[in-house]
Structure 1
């Protein structure tokens, strides 16, 4: 790359645009893959969990950024199970408010409140962020939309229902300061 010319890089930039435009289609493909299998022991698939989380977010009156954050908060499970939260946050970070990507990035640690004691882990590990402006929002996200969304009987909306919202969010200009609102936390 160090030998590339400006002309060559400008050409590559133009050729990359169609690929970038298909990001949402790759995300939809990954979500569909998550409908094929689940982790052993769970009563619903990964896709159903994301759909249920998004359905709950919408039912609570959340805006589109939170709905898409809830839908995609575990999208990284298949490729990065040990750090799925950070992986998932990186998928949405260019297109949603800062606080939404922060919550998705940290939800794994905050979720430990519900199960860590069963493994001998620190269930209060999230307390290291107790003074962070997104602490309460992340705790609420986990309580209302994540840990409760493993119910096989919950009336859940379909991926097709959420597809227009996905397309709207991923059609945004990446890292648009007006969208990202870096450092601003308005809550759920």
Structure 2
């Protein structure tokens, strides 16, 4: 890499554009893979969980960033189950608001409120983030859209319903300050 010229790197940037433009395709493929199996002990697939979360967000009146965040909050689970929250956040971070990626990144520790005690973990571990501006949004995200989205009988919207907004979000310019809005915390429901 250190021997590359400016012209070499300009050529690589040009050649990488088609690959970058296919990010939404890769995200959709990963979602489909998440629907291929049910993890032992769960009544639904990882895809169904994401679809339920996205459906709940949409029905609550959330905007496109929150809906995509809810849909994809566990997309990292297939490759990184021990830190899926952080991996999922990195997938969406260049394309959604700062608060959405922060919530996705931290939802795992916030979810421990519901089950941590059963493993001997600190169910209140999220309290270390109490003073963070996104604390309430993350707590609400987990309560409304994540922990409740394991219901095999829930009337869930299909993946095809969400594909246009996934493509819209991943077609944005990466790290666009007008999208990221660092430090701004938005309402989950627009209310």
Q: Specify the TM-score bucket, using the shorter chain as the normaliser.
A: over 0.9
Q: Matches of residues 150-165 of structure 1 in structure 2 within 5 Å?
A: 150-165=150-165
Give the match's secondary structure for 1:150: coil
Tell me the CA shift for residue 151 of structure 1.
0.2
The gaps in structure 2 that reach 5 residues or longer are none
Unaligned runs of 5+ in 1: none
TM-score calculated relative to the size of structure 2: 0.98
Q: CA deviation at 1:178?
A: 0.2
Whole-angstrom distance in 2 between the partners of 1:38 and 1:178: 39
Moved over 3 A (4+): none
* 2:42 corresponds to 1:42: yes
C-alpha distance after superposition, 1:112-138 (max 9, x if no partner): 000000011000000000000000000
Secondary structure at the aligned position of 2:15 is classed as: helix
What is the rounded CA distance, in whole Å, between the counterparts of 1:183 and 1:2 in structure 2? 36
Partner of 1:28: 28
**Equivalence for 2:110:** 110
Provide the alpha-carbon RMSD of the alignment. Answer: 0.4
Give the drift of 1:38.
2.0
Aligned to 2:70: 70
Question: SS in structure 2 opposite 1:161?
Answer: helix
| 1:79-120, Cα deviation, whole Å (9 max, x unpaired) | 000000000000000000000000000000000000000011
CA distance in 1, matches of 2:77, 2:33: 11
Instruction: Tell whether 2:55 aligns with 1:58.
Output: no
Once residues 39 and 143 of structure 1 are traced to their aligned partners in structure 2, the CA distance between those partners, rounded to angstroms, is: 22
Verify the 8 A CA contact 1:110 1:126 in the aligned structure 2. Answer: yes
Match of 2:93 in 1: 93
